[in-house]
Chain A
Amino acid sequence: MSISNQLKNQHLLWRAAFGPMAENVNELSDTSPQNLYALLLKASSKTLENFNVASNLFDGLVKGVRDVVQLQNLSKEQKQMIRKQSRNDLKNLNLKWLNEMINSEAQLREKTSLFWHGHFACRVINIYFQQQLLDIIRKNALGNFGNMLREVSKSPAMLSFLNNQQNKKQHPNENFAREVMELFTMGRGNYSESDIKEAARAFTGWGFNIHGEFVDRPFQHDNGNKTFLGKTGNFNGDDIIDILLEQKQTARFITNKIYKYFVNENSDSNKVETLANGFYQSGYSIKKLLEDIYISDWFYDKKNIGNKIKSPVELLVGIRRLLPMEIKNEEIQLLFQRVLGQILFYPPNVAGWPGGKNWIDSSALMLRLSIPRVLTNANEFLIKPKDDDDTMMGSKTEENSETKGRQVYTEVDWKSVLKVFESIPRENLAEDLSNLVLQTQSKISKNILEKYIDKGSRENYIKTTIVELMSTPEYQLC
């Protein structure tokens, strides 16, 4: 079976971006994937606008405090208020970024940023820190990996999450050094425990001040000689990062992770090695690495198409890209993220979201299957999320108090969807819709579909077919 241009382009859009928009479907058969990729790249090269969702209240509290006293001197109530406000602001940051993934033209940048958001996983509730880290990631998502690594490593978010503020000459804290090597650069098994200890000594003194700025505290830095990955010298944190970037293994580790995320869960060691060589030789140009993948022929091989389980965020954003809609109670999307196991800014731990089949268990799958109907107002949402003690502080919130149906108020802009299919004869509709919605070779048989869809009008036929096609195991994949 030959693979149609449309399928190839949709494949590119699902992997490099968040999936096709119904409005674009007619353009998908004409252009080549290589051209489409050039367009994606161009749309992502515009200057980035940073997010700022920190509320005035939070701003006032923290900034006011800066001038008068140290944060530590706040009363317990004030501290609690700041934390609460910060959590609320984080929700807004979540929704803001989600909207960007849905609506932004810079699809390539936002999608690649989502990858880095999982790679540089960080779970702190300070809204400033999280905003700053997201800025670093989005700014560098298609840039230079070395620069991003260095900026992330000096961000208050990561320094505080990995306890480097406590990493001092007299009492080294190895957490930061360990994770930088294990998760951010080389991967487990490529260095010794002594390398970790030595690197931790080099990172002593790295911290941040109350203004959320990186500081190198000379009195807490260990100025002795360190032996790290075979080299000896009076290294500081920057030297350690340089040495890590000199290691071919770092290019290999990152490339392998990128291959598994964007191409295929089962990585191909020959391809990864070739890609990693190019990545390394380019001095860690992420753009180059992605280009080597997306303009290759093998990326569009049958075995790479429609085999990847969408993450909850990809699933949700993908639905909303195909079907333009307005959600009145936007926060419901946070609940979806929570029950499906991927809340932006709340990775499970420093290792990020494991992905793949880990997204799927019996209840998660049934929930995923129900979401298209919920979002198009066919069903109520009947799920009670687990309590989150980190955010609830022992109190019951409304969303956790009762298992009751939750209506999601959405308005789908069906008009613009219907318009796309205007010229398609009725007998071809089912197949055309299926080819647009599903990336898998496995399809839903027309006979079964027709039992469940509304054949009353052409309009309803299209609407219900799309929703039923989305409510399938096939739609979980891209």
Chain B
Amino acid sequence: MLFKRREFLNIGSLATTSLMMPKFLKAFETKGMVPPGNKVLVVIQLSGGNDGLNTVIPVTNDIYYKERPRLGIQKDQSLLLTDEVGINPALAGFKNLYDNGNLGILNSVGYPNPDRSHFRSMDIWQSGVESNEYATTGWLGRYLDAQCSGCGKPTQALEVDDVLSLALKGETNKGLAVKDPKRLFNTSHSKYFKDISADHQNGEETVDYLYKTMSETLSSAEYIFEQSRLHQSSQTYPATELGKNLKTIASLILSHINTKVYYVSLGSFDTHVNQENQQKRLFTELDGALTAFVKEIKDNNRFDDVMLMTFSEFGRRVSQNASGGTDHGTANNMFFVSGGLKQKGILNAMPDLNNLNEGDLKHTIDFKDVYATVLKKWLGADDKSILGKQYDYLSFI
């Protein structure tokens, strides 16, 4: 495949910087698109504890309507997926994905001894350990560690944010947090940093480590910025933060970067009061951004290789509270969006509202089973070493 003119020009301007381009970000040797089969994972974190029961709605369940006289979404208001299950009316794009066989819904995902603190529960989800364990690394960070031990061309993970999440911190490898590559590169006094970096003589271990991190960050920011401009998006994304972030991610997926994991957050779903409006606003943002993203990835024939996954640190209580909202709960559903799912639609039973634990849903699937499945079957990684033990695989991938 020939260079497009625009790409050619850009590569010209990159000639100097590519000398210090970090190994892990080097483009694939093949010119042109990333080879098919190179799977990409996009994690969308729904921060704050999304209310799963008003996301995927049990429209024939009397207990649901009894517990939520004010908040329950009526059958005829929801977008019906089956006779018994509807999806939130603000998620029309998801309904479309469902109809096209590109959506998987996994119900009742959680973990034993659930914690209802946002911080702690998010910590548990991001680190991928049991709720009585404390880890200083995240599951995707350890994936980077595992991928990179001794390999010449390590893969990389990117978070579209100013601050890196625990999920992407490994023991020796860490993802890169970049909200705006241009800004990171331009405003960070980078000329000075480049100068001192070029002048630095290795010697002391920790100083060298800091210099390595600094120069990789600078050159990555520049490289990512250039790469993200190579692919001019044909899609109009909504003018929302998530829209902007997914546009950045799409342009990187369609560039030459070998990044396998992208991470982005949307929130806050902490709907103690006035849930209906807040969830609707966030879902509208999610739905619009995702629809544009999927269209673009599809148009470029990469949808079979890209999977989006949503999660939240917990679901919410089955009963509504007195302020038009819901309080912190436990198990929740997850979405999987891809052209390459092995099983589609509603993947397991809806939550059993007859069988609650003090008003909260009981989990039937450990989220580490999901991680194991994604790591093994999607990313082709050694899930056991990454998660510290062998969890069960699910069959949707």
Contact = CB atoms under 8 A, between A and B. Distances in A.
Interface of A: 76, 123, 178, 306-309, 339, 348-351, 354, 357-358, 360-366, 369-370, 373, 379, 382-390, 392-396, 403, 440-442, 444-445, 448, 451-452, 468, 471-474, 476-477
B149 interface: no
Given A123-B119, A306-B204, A442-B201, A370 B188 contact: yes
A339, A403, A442: most-surrounded residue (chain B CB, <10 A): A442
B196 A362 contact: no
Nearest to B123: A349
B199, B210, B322: most-surrounded residue (chain A CB, <10 A): B210
B48, B117, B166, B325: most-surrounded residue (chain A CB, <10 A): B48
A373 B163 contact: no
A394 B270 contact: yes
Given A306-B204, A349-B123, A389-B48, 20 more contacts: A76-B322, A307-B204, A308-B206, A358-B169, A362-B174, A363-B178, A366-B188, A366-B214, A379-B187, A385-B162, A386-B163, A389-B267, A390-B117, A393-B272, A394-B272, A444-B199, A452-B195, A473-B196, A473-B207, A474-B207
A369 B206 contact: no
B49, B163, B177, B217: most-surrounded residue (chain A CB, <10 A): B163
A370 B189 contact: yes
B119 A390 contact: yes
A365 B203 contact: no
Interface string B173-185: 0111111000110
A178 B205 CA distance: 36
A3 to B, nearest CB: 14
12 contacts: A307-B204, A309-B206, A365-B213, A366-B214, A370-B188, A383-B163, A385-B162, A386-B165, A386-B265, A394-B268, A396-B268, A448-B195
B330 to A, nearest CB: 16
A362 B192 CA distance: 17
A389 B169 contact: no
A370 B189 CA distance: 8
B163 A363 contact: yes
A34 B183 CA distance: 48
Contacts of A364: 163-164
Interface string B133-174: 010100000000000000000000000011111100100001
B216 interface: yes
Contacts of A440: 204, 207
A395 B271 CA distance: 9
Contacts of A473: 196, 200, 207, 210-211, 214
Contact of B164 (A362, A370, A385, A476): A362
Contact of A361 (B47, B48, B164): B164
A354 B136 contact: yes
Given A366-B184, A383-B162, A390-B117, A468 B273 contact: no
A452 B196 CA distance: 11
Given A76-B322, A362-B177, A448-B199, A390 B162 contact: no
Contact of B162 (A348, A351, A363, A448): A363
A466 to B, nearest CB: 14
B118 A366 contact: no
A394 B271 contact: yes
Interface in B261-278: 265, 267-273, 278
A307, A360, A361, A477: most-surrounded residue (chain B CB, <10 A): A361
Given A358-B169, A363-B177, A442 B203 contact: yes
A477 B210 contact: yes
Contacts of B118: 388-390
A389 B196 contact: no
A392 B267 CA distance: 11
Given A387-B268, A389-B118, A441 B217 contact: no
B389 interface: no
A151 to B, nearest CB: 24
Contacts of B204: 306-307, 440-442
Interface magnitude class on chain B: 35 or more
A445 B198 CA distance: 11
Nearest to A339: B163
B220 interface: yes
Nearest to A472: B196
B3 interface: no
B8 interface: no
Nearest to A389: B118
Interface string B94-122: 00000000000000000000000111100
B213 A362 contact: yes
B203 A441 contact: yes
A361 B210 contact: no
A471 B187 CA distance: 14
Given A389-B47, A390-B118, A363 B164 contact: yes
For the complex of A and B, the 3 pairs showing the least CB-CB separation, nearest first, are A394-B270, A473-B210, A389-B118
A361 B177 contact: yes
A386 B264 CA distance: 11
A371 to B, nearest CB: 11
Contacts of A388: 118-119
Contacts of A451: 195
A362 B189 contact: no
Given A385-B162, A390-B118, A448-B199, A365 B189 contact: no
Contact of B48 (A307, A362, A387, A441): A387
B214 A386 contact: no
Contact of A382 (B136, B187, B196, B278): B187
B270 A389 contact: yes
B328 to A, nearest CB: 10
A47 B362 CA distance: 53
B85 to A, nearest CB: 26
B231 to A, nearest CB: 23
Nearest to B325: A394
Contact of A307 (B184, B192, B205, B265): B205
Nearest to A440: B207
A76 B272 CA distance: 12
B28 interface: no
A392 B192 CA distance: 38
Interface string B357-374: 000000000000000000
A349 B134 contact: yes
A394 B273 contact: yes
Interface in B210-241: 210-211, 213-214, 216-217, 220
Nearest to A265: B206
Given A307-B204, A442-B204, A385 B214 contact: no
A306, A452, A472, A473: most-surrounded residue (chain B CB, <10 A): A473
A392 to B, nearest CB: 6
A366 B165 CA distance: 16
Interface string B45-71: 001110000000000000000000000
A220 B214 CA distance: 56
A393 B270 contact: yes
Nearest to B175: A361
A147 B216 CA distance: 48
A94 B130 CA distance: 31
A370, A388, A445, A472: most-surrounded residue (chain B CB, <10 A): A472
Contacts of A357: 206, 209
A384 B213 CA distance: 21
Given A389-B270, A471-B192, A477-B206, A445 B48 contact: no
B132, B200, B265: most-surrounded residue (chain A CB, <10 A): B200
Contact of B189 (A76, A384, A471): A471
A468 B189 CA distance: 10
